Amino acid sequence: MTGESRDLTLDVGRDELVIRRRYETLGIVNDILIGIWFLVGSILFFSDSTTYTGTWLFVIGSVELLIRPIIRLARHVHLRRIRTPMSVRARYRSAKRSQS
């Protein structure tokens, strides 16, 4: 029975770690894109003929700045969903052991 508890905990922990890495990677890619959009947009502002395109890159960068907190919020909500069933199982096992 102890082996089963460890397996359950390790599986859930491993899944949680994978999710953290995926959201962290998504956040890093988003931050890199923000930097690219603003850098290229800034360069395009040096010429009057490319100012329109540069403005659109600033708009895209601004939208991605809004995406950043959405990614963080999604990660927190996702991790919370995983923890809830695990804590219910842990309480069930604890109650079952107390009855024995």
Q: Is the pTM of this model over 0.85?
A: no
Residue in the block written with tokens 């991605």: 64
Per-residue model confidence as pLDDT tens digits over 4-62: 433 333 355 566 666 778 888 899 999 999 999 999 999 999 999 999 999 999 999 99
Kindly state the average pLDDT of the residues 63-67. Answer: 93
How far apart are the C-alpha atoms of 1 and 73, rounded to whole Å?
Answer: 36
Q: What percent of the chain has pLDDT over 70?
A: 60
Per-residue model confidence as pLDDT tens digits over 72-88: 888 877 766 666 555 55
To the nearest 10°, the Cα dihedral for 7, 9, 11, 15? -170
The confidence score (pLDDT) of residue 30 equals: 93
Length of the chain as a residue count: 100
Contacts by 82-91, CB closer than 8 A, 24 or more apart: 82/12, 82/15, 82/16, 82/19, 83/16, 86/8, 86/9, 86/12, 89/8
The confidence score (pLDDT) of residue 78 equals: 75
